[in-house]
Amino acid sequence: MQSEQNKVLKIFRFERVIIPVIIGLGVVGYFSFKDFDPKPFFEIQPSFQLWFWLFMAFTMVVMRDVAYMYRIRLLTDKQLSWRNSFHVIMLWEFASSVTPSVVGGSAVALFIVTKEGIKPGRATAIVMITALLDELFYIIMVPLILLFAGTSLLFKSESSFLFINSKLGIQGVFVIGYFFILFLTLIISYGVFFKPRGFKWILLRIFKIPFLRKWRFQAAQAGDDIIITSAEMRHKSFSFWARASLSTWISWTSRFLMVNFLIYAITAGGDHFLIFARQLVMWVIMLISPTPGSSGVAEFLFSDFLGDFIPAGLNMAVALLWRLMSYYPYIIIGALVLPIWIKRVYKFN
């Protein structure tokens, strides 16, 4: 019991928490003071518009988390209370904030859900289906956004990224990321809803290839996870999937609309459909970020992608406000919830 507690504390140790904070604030500080101009700050006047849209942005943060809490309760057949669901979501977000985005917080989430009294098999299914629903939102939204926004305005950024010893523009990274997510989601969906044992058999055959053989154990484990998830989820009702999907769409839409409302607080102009659309492109870049919680990368991308819609000189200020509402609170709340959660799940006196 004590060793398990130590593992949890190690995941959330101080060094993991402080590093993303320093990186994020460092990037904001560098770009803010590089070409600092105090004039735009003095031009912002307290007004009904400012406070109303800041309130709406905060409302989107709350709605996002409530939707996540509802979904985790639904997936656990209400085995988790609202309070326990709050603990799970806050710690899940905390884990995502202090681990590289490319890694994510799913492994920690599996541990957290299991410690809530959910059997390991069901916990595996819940975490996997959660990820699947999130990816489906993205897969469906991207074609719709491209249909209405087009590519000329969507990929206006001139930034490039190093990919397999060659430079790729934003559009190239986006296309590779999208089709990778699409391929992975289709394969997992096929395994979960149609042929789970056939999926595992194919995995094991693939990982018999000599240069892949050293990962054969992990492949077998992934196959087992698919079989467990299939047994838990494939016979759920249409109503169950409709509610799970709706809560997913509400949480992700709220996440993106929060940025729209922040920008609306500063300026009433701008193409807010395009602001929403560009966030989908930002998200796939942030997904492959090597920094904890996309620190540094997120702030830079915000200014690069959405700077067109923000008065000159305020890009990084709005980027910092965005992170203060959507990222740093989960580090603070997670740090406060962690000792309470540990005491509860381990039943310390």
d(CA 109, CA 161): 30
The pLDDT confidence band at residue 257, using thresholds 50, 70 and 90, is: very high
Residue 13 has pLDDT above 70, yes or no: no
HEC assignment per residue over 242-274: HHHHHHHHHHHHHHHHHHHHHHHHHCCCCCHHH
Residue 245 has pLDDT above 90, yes or no: yes
**pLDDT digits 0-9 by tens, 301-337:** 888 888 888 877 777 778 888 888 888 888 888 888 8
**pLDDT digits 0-9 by tens, 150-194:** 777 777 766 655 555 556 677 887 888 888 889 888 888 888 888
Q: Are 164 and 194 in contact (CB under 8 A)?
A: no
Which tokens sit at 50?
């400012």
Q: Are 32 and 316 in contact (CB under 8 A)?
A: yes
d(CA 87, CA 245): 22
Across the strands, what pairs with 160? Answer: 169
Res 276: pLDDT: 92
Q: How far is CA 12 from CA 117, 120, 257, 260, 284, in A?
A: 21, 22, 29, 31, 25
Res 171: pLDDT: 80
Across the strands, what pairs with 162? Answer: 167
Res 2: pLDDT: 47
Q: Is 50 helix (H, G, I), strand (E, B) or coil?
A: helix
User: What does the mean pLDDT of the chain come to?
Assistant: 80
Residue 7 has pLDDT above 90, yes or no: no
- Number of other CB atoms surrounding residue 47 within 10 Å: 10
pTM of the predicted model as reported, rounded to 2 decimal places: 0.84
Task: State phi, psi for 36 to the nearest 5 degrees.
Answer: -70, 130
Which range among 39-43, 97-101, 297-301 shows the weakest confidence by mean pLDDT? 39-43
Which DSSP category does 237 fall into?
Answer: -
- Number of other CB atoms surrounding residue 262 within 10 Å: 24
The pLDDT confidence band at residue 1, using thresholds 50, 70 and 90, is: very low
Q: Are 114 and 120 in contact (CB under 8 A)?
A: yes
d(CA 200, CA 223): 4
d(CA 195, CA 43): 61
**What mean pLDDT comes out for the span 38-63?**
80
**What mean pLDDT comes out for the span 82-109?**
80
**pLDDT digits 0-9 by tens, 101-140:** 555 567 778 888 888 888 888 888 888 899 899 999 999 9
The pLDDT confidence band at residue 240, using thresholds 50, 70 and 90, is: very high
**pLDDT digits 0-9 by tens, 185-234:** 888 888 888 888 888 888 788 878 777 677 778 778 878 888 888 888 88
Residue 349 has pLDDT above 50, yes or no: no
Q: What is the DSSP string of 185-196?
A: HHHHHHHHHT-H
Q: Smallest Cα–Cα separation from 126: which of 201, 194, 191, 192?
A: 192
For the chain, the domains span 2-346
